[in-house]
Structure 1
């Protein structure tokens, strides 16, 4: 899997593009172009064909313009990728829920992020250890922090809680997306894959040598019809993560360190 990196472009140009502090106007007689139109085309291509095939030339071909005309608006692919990410973050539901507790608000944010990854799986191929610093990402961060604001956590603890939940969602969705992709590319369901491997596994996986693994694996396989169920893994994991945060919040309220 090809991995791209956010923040890999020129910082000044990326920030100007993200915040739209500079944008050229189409010249007379040229096809109507804008940063937004270019970004929407790039997102469509990434959604349809994946990130590995995305290039400035492909975006230009999709728009029916020359490749060089794109550079009037977007310096390059690295900067384009940053704006693509920031743009799709704008799809997240940031409705305020003042009547709900912090746990319900944090859970809603987690589920919104999960749905966003499923709509745009290419996001999982972008490492974001260097945050985007764009308007939509900033609004997302603000919204998620507000879910745990005023419940007795320090600023650093609030940041850590949001990072924990987002990290869990990212990992859980990556597994779910990969499960879908392997079925599509192999043309074989998980159940068919297990049936194909079962005769050999029955010969080599001696329960006497792997008693716990054989017992638990058989139970999981019977329940899921596969090695694991991404839906169950997400629901189980999210509850446990929120349970852990709830315990931490209670400790803080009780004066724990």
Structure 2
């Protein structure tokens, strides 16, 4: 437990106080920001499995020992990487429109970000150290709901629910294999030959209506239904005119 507490303290101090000046001859031109940027470039090119202090040092053209004069280890580096990319070009409350338009905008922006940078999903799930950018984003997302009449716990629950939905859908989309048109046609022909679809009447009616399973835009459909529920809750908090 003590070792875990030490990692937490070191990580939070790095995120909120910044790195102390190295005591053992800092490498010329090397900074925490350069180390974090090199680590991000590495995982963008090769994935998170390639990340190690040794590989980052190699990318920077220095020995691994040089990195340890700036950062205690990989856990702290991952926390700094996550916080460095936490903010997009637009904060949630800066999008145009009402609370729903803003929420839709930041949800779609985050979804696209996770799909472009899948390594973020792993760090978000395994790096429980909130940094300045993380809290700035959360504060902004809560500001979106300021004039809705929701209670403070409800506002937080809405933000967390939408955020969890976005991450879950992004993870599913990255795990799935989208067949090519030829593969899909061959698969459907085999299924028609091998499967007695009379055993699945509801599914048969859906297919006969022209709907291909797993082909719809699940992200958008689910996001709208989630926000429909939030909108209904907001109407119960809004006093009648």
TM-score, length basis structure 1: 0.81
Once the two structures are superposed, the pairs formed by residues 145-224 of structure 1 within 5 Å of their partners are 145-179=142-176, 182=177, 189-217=179-207, 219-221=210-212
Q: Deviations over 1:170-211 (max 9, x none)?
A: 1122222334xx45xxxxx44233233234312332121112
- Residue 214 (structure 2) aligned to one of 219, 227, 236: 227
In structure 2, do the counterparts of structure 1 residues 130 and 68 end up closer, same or farther at CA, with 3 Å as the change threshold? closer
Structure 1 match to 2:35: 38
Q: Give unpaired runs (5+ residues) of structure 1.
A: 1-6, 184-188
Distance apart, 1:107 and its partner CA: 1.7
Q: Give unpaired runs (5+ residues) of structure 2.
A: none
Give the Cα separation in 2 of the matches to 1:9 and 1:36.
Answer: 22
Q: Find out whether 1:248 has 2:238 as its counterpart.
A: no
Task: Supply the RMSD in Å over aligned alpha carbons.
Answer: 2.7
In structure 2, do the counterparts of structure 1 residues 23 and 217 end up closer, same or farther at CA, with 3 Å as the change threshold? farther
Q: Deviations over 1:109-130 (max 9, x none)?
A: 2122123213321111235377
In structure 2, do the counterparts of structure 1 residues 216 and 23 end up closer, same or farther at CA, with 3 Å as the change threshold? farther
Distance apart, 1:9 and its partner CA: 7.4
How many residues were matched structurally? Answer: 236
Distance apart, 1:46 and its partner CA: 1.2
Q: Deviations over 1:141-166 (max 9, x none)?
A: 00000000132111111100001111
In structure 2, do the counterparts of structure 1 residues 107 and 8 end up closer, same or farther at CA, with 3 Å as the change threshold? farther
Does the CA-based 8 Å contact 2:93-2:143 persist in structure 1?
no
Give the Cα separation in 2 of the matches to 1:243 and 1:36.
Answer: 42
- Residue 69 (structure 1) aligned to one of 59, 66, 70: 66
Please state which structure has a larger fraction of its residues in helix: 2
Give the Cα separation in 2 of the matches to 1:108 and 1:190.
Answer: 30
